[in-house]
Amino acid sequence: MNDRWFIDTNILLYAYDREAGRKHQIAKELITQCWERAIGVISVQVLCEFFVQGTRTKNKIIEPIEAKSIVYNLATNWCVICPDATLIIEAIRGQSEHQLSFWDALIWATAKKAGTQYLYTEDFQHRQIVEGVQFINPFVVEPKPSALSSGSDYNI
């Protein structure tokens, strides 16, 4: 596994959806880190879904000309994984063995093929690991350890 991060469509969409509040801020920071550290990985599927979902007339997030520019920049600067027959077969296996929808299994198989350890998405169970790929939902607020559990504030 490598230090690159696979970014799912929903995270990319939130990064450009200025009306998404907290999710926009978190996703924007995540995408910024990918750019600054040159660690972003996406798939052709993500690029297509981003363009279609981001520019559809109802609930349009961005104008098509801006979306085209974003897709171009991602496609030419990030690691982009293209599906082939082997990847489709792996997704079908993942669908069957891990009870994923086919499209989610294709995202998982693509992240696995890229050798990424982390797949940022809100579509999977947070912190679940499937065959070396860990799903991270950046919008989940994890509880901080309490003083009681750490024992740091008490002499017992």
From CA 135, how far away is CA 19, in angstroms rounded? 25
What per-residue confidence (pLDDT) applies to 156?
35
From CA 84, how far away is CA 78, in angstroms rounded? 19
- Ordered domains of the chain (ranges, CATH): 2-150 (3.40.50.1010)
What per-residue confidence (pLDDT) applies to 152?
43
Distance of CA 104 to the CA centre of its chain: 11
What per-residue confidence (pLDDT) applies to 67?
96
Q: Are 8 and 120 in contact (CB under 8 A)?
A: yes
What per-residue confidence (pLDDT) applies to 57?
77
Rg (CA), the chain: 17
What per-residue confidence (pLDDT) applies to 146?
53
Per-residue pLDDT of the chain (156 residues; tens, 9 = 90+): 678 999 999 999 999 999 999 999 999 999 999 999 999 999 999 999 999 999 997 888 999 999 999 999 999 999 999 999 999 999 999 999 999 999 999 999 999 999 999 999 998 778 888 898 999 999 987 766 654 444 444 333
Q: Which residues pair with 43 in a beta bridge?
A: 81
Place of tokens 């924007």: 28
3-state DSSP assignment of residue 12: helix
Q: Using alpha carbons, list the distances in angstroms from residue 133 to 24, 53, 62, 79, 101.
A: 24, 25, 31, 17, 16
Instruction: Tell me the pTM.
Output: 0.85
3-state DSSP assignment of residue 9: helix
